[in-house]
Structure 1
Amino acid sequence: MKNDVLKINYNKEIDAVVLEWITAPISSEFREGLNQGLELLKSTKAKNWIGDVRNLGAIDPDDQKWSNEEWFPKALSTGIKKMGVIISDDIFNQMSVEEIMSKVENAGFVSQYFDDINKASQWMKA
């Protein structure tokens, strides 16, 4: 699936849903994108997730809260094992993503930050 805001696909080789933000979304696009990724996670039974957030921009505090309270519990219920995040150079993006991830650090999956999608993919194979 691809539109002007994001690209989502399943990478069978690393058993991962890969969600790449193309441009900063508005709130509804952010939530819809994560939910579409979640549906792909469920349908493929993937155990891994790569989120390329380099073009995401800062995440609205309400969307951060929604991610933690609504989206992550659903994602975790699928049995996800690894989550790789391709982090932005943008400090506001980094702060937003780290705020979200800090609240789910001990939730039963392993997460790691990367500066390159290939490095994240290699980590998924390990």
Structure 2
Amino acid sequence: MEKITIIDNEFVTMWYYPDKKIIHHLFHQFLYGQAFRDTLNAGLDIFKKYDAHKWLSDDRHNAALPKEDVDWAQTNWFPRVMNAGWKFWAVVMPEQVIGQMNMKRFVKNYSEQGLIVQVFGDAEAALTWLQSQ
């Protein structure tokens, strides 16, 4: 499957799979603040530019986000990415329990607003599921 690298730095790598309309990010370490927001906004730009509608979040190395980032993601970014066509989200949960609790809130909140969400233990299974959607 063809993939285009969107971001590749010490915090995150993000790819786009054009034939399946999938964005895939892999956090390399705890990501928050402006780096977190820039990453999510880069994904939003891909949704708009290429009519993507699937996202794979590999957050194994992330932790709980600061309240400001949670609020921004839920009230600012999420409505914009939903309007851009986001339909399916595959999540690889953080390894740390505190990060898992944080992600479970996002999963619950976003699924209640119409996003189809599945949680996985590894990125390969998550990608397989997204490809089938």
Counterpart secondary structure, 2:24: strand
Q: What is the alpha-carbon root mean square deviation over aligned residues?
A: 1.3
The runs of at least 4 consecutive aligned structure 1 residues that moved more than 6 Å come to none
Structure 2: how far apart are the matches of 1:61 and 1:95?
Answer: 13
Verify: 1:45 aligned to 2:47, yes or no.
no
2:121 matched residue in structure 1: 115
Counterpart secondary structure, 1:119: helix
Q: 8 Å contact 2:47–2:85 — kept in the other structure?
A: no
Counterpart secondary structure, 2:91: strand
1:21-73 deviation digits (Å, cap 9, x = unpaired) = 11112311111111111111211111100111111111112211111101110
Q: Count matched residues.
A: 126
Verify: 1:80 aligned to 2:86, yes or no.
yes
1:98 matched residue in structure 2: 104
> Which piece of structure 1 moves more, 100-109 or 77-86?
100-109
Structure 1: how far apart are the matches of 2:32 and 2:53?
Answer: 28
Q: 8 Å contact 1:14–1:121 — kept in the other structure?
A: no
Q: 8 Å contact 1:2–1:8 — kept in the other structure?
A: yes
Q: 8 Å contact 2:55–2:88 — kept in the other structure?
A: yes
2:75 matched residue in structure 1: 69
Verify: 1:34 aligned to 2:40, yes or no.
yes
Counterpart secondary structure, 1:104: helix
Verify: 1:57 aligned to 2:63, yes or no.
yes
Q: Which stretches in structure 2 are left out of the alignment for 5+ residues? A: 1-6
Q: Which of 5, 25, 36 is the aligned partner of 2:11? A: 5
Structure 1: how far apart are the matches of 2:35 and 2:63?
Answer: 13
TM-score (norm 1): 0.92
1:16 matched residue in structure 2: 22
> Which piece of structure 1 moves more, 64-73 or 8-17?
8-17
Q: Which stretches in structure 1 are left out of the alignment for 5+ residues? A: none
